[in-house]
Amino acid sequence: MSGSRKFFVGGNWKMNGDKAAIDGIVDFMKKGPLNPNTEVVVGCPQCYLSYTREKLPAEIGVAAQNCYKVAKGAFTGEISPAMVKDCGCEWVILGHSERRNVFNEPDQLISEKVGHALEAGLKVIPCIGEKLDERESNRTEEVVFAQMKALVPNISDWSRVVIAYEPVWAIGTGKTASPEQAQDVHAKLRQWLTENVSAEVAESCRIIYGGSVSPSNCAELAKMGDIDGFLVGGASLKPDFVTIINARG
């Protein structure tokens, strides 16, 4: 495990919450205490980006859950990285499995969105991961390497990228990849980066795990050498999130 990779915990609120609920989340996050050695970012619905940014302490990052691949134009219902920045936020989550599998976003579009977000000055959490049938047919590496291969040509600055590996079969299902299963994929992804980008990027890039992370499993997952943190869904809406942020002492 590299001591140079700062532990990173992201919360993805998905399409949940209102101002009252956000106030509650802000309250338990302010109370913490949060491990100062962990970088924390929360992804909130786009209509609450400014509200969340104003309410949370400055050291906690705020991410949009999606954005489009150009700065402005006739794209009804979309937001641009420039708009995310104008709301005071620095991060965006792109290519989440729900964007891929519910809204049918292909690898190439996700890659273009990542490229534009980086060019616009955002930091990006691109998500990759295999579905259950793909894992059961031993295609995990094939799927996640293909997703990575699509991303690489549009990544201009790896220092502003945190890769989130989320096996789709473990998101919101209560099923979790075992620490060993997750570590195995993370190690293979790091090896892939060594061979297809550079050894330096492979060593420095944070690869975080998502998929039913909870207070009961986060400490074991955090001990794995190639797991640099988590992307947390439902648990990020609850005080449990503090325990997960502090998973690595």
Residues marked active site are found at 96, 166
Cis ω for the linkage preceding 33 (within 30 of 0):
yes
Which tokens is 159 given? Answer: 């220092």
Phi, psi of 177, deg, nearest 5 = -60, 140
Which tokens is 197 given? Answer: 């980008």
Angle at CA 93, nearest 5°, toward 145 and 204? 55
* Residue 126 identity: P
The burial of 17, by beta-carbon neighbours within 10 Å (0-12 exposed, 13-18 middle, 19 or more buried), is given as middle
The region, left, alpha or beta by phi > 0 then psi within -120 to 50, assigned to residue 7 is beta
